[in-house]
């Protein structure tokens, strides 16, 4: 499955409102909310389980990571962005940074 194919399938489960701005806002907030759920699960593993990940923990992390990806895919589509293009651009950007030795540092355009 390509990222664009995933994006199309994700859209079939997206709820929509009358105002497109409302959809975009909810999906953008969903990215942050689900990322928070990933970090919360990880916090509990570190804080209460000394970093030992059970099978149940791993399944929970995988589900929340999937939720993050779903929101990214749907939000990106609402902006007219291809998920394939986003991922290719991201890999290109990171490979370029590595080649130029600017992986560490600050700034979006380094």
- Site for Mg ion, rule CB under 5 A: 34, 37, 64, 67
Nearer to Mg ion, 8 or 67 (CB): 67
Nearer to Mg ion by Cβ, of 62 and 85: the residue is 62
Q: How far is the CB of 57 from Mg ion (least distance, A)?
A: 14
Strand positions, DSSP E, the chain: none
Both tokens of 65, joined, read: 């990571």
Nearest approach, Cβ of 67 to Mg ion (angstroms)? 4
- When the beta carbons of 71 and 83 are compared against Mg ion, the nearer one is 71
- Tell me how far, at minimum, the Cβ of 8 lies from Mg ion, in Å: 21
Residues 78, 79, 83, 87, Cα dihedral to 10°: -150
Query: C-alpha distances in angstroms, 46 versus 31, 32, 49, 54?
Result: 23, 21, 6, 12
Q: Please state, as a whole number, how many other Cβ atoms lie within 10 Å of the Cβ of residue 76.
A: 20
């Amino acid at each position: 499955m390509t990222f664009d194919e995933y994006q199309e399938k994700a859209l079939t489960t997206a709820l929509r409102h009358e105002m497109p701005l409302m959809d975009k806002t909810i999906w953008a907030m969903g990215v942050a909310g689900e990322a928070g759920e990933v970090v919360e699960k990880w916090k509990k593993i570190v804080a209460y389980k000394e970093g030992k990940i059970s099978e149940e923990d791993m399944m929970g992390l995988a589900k929340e990571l999937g939720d993050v990806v779903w929101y990214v895919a749907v939000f990106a589509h609402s902006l007219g962005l291809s998920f394939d293009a986003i991922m290719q651009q991201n890999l290109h950007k990171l490979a370029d940074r590595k080649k130029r030795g600017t992986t560490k540092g600050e700034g979006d355009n380094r």
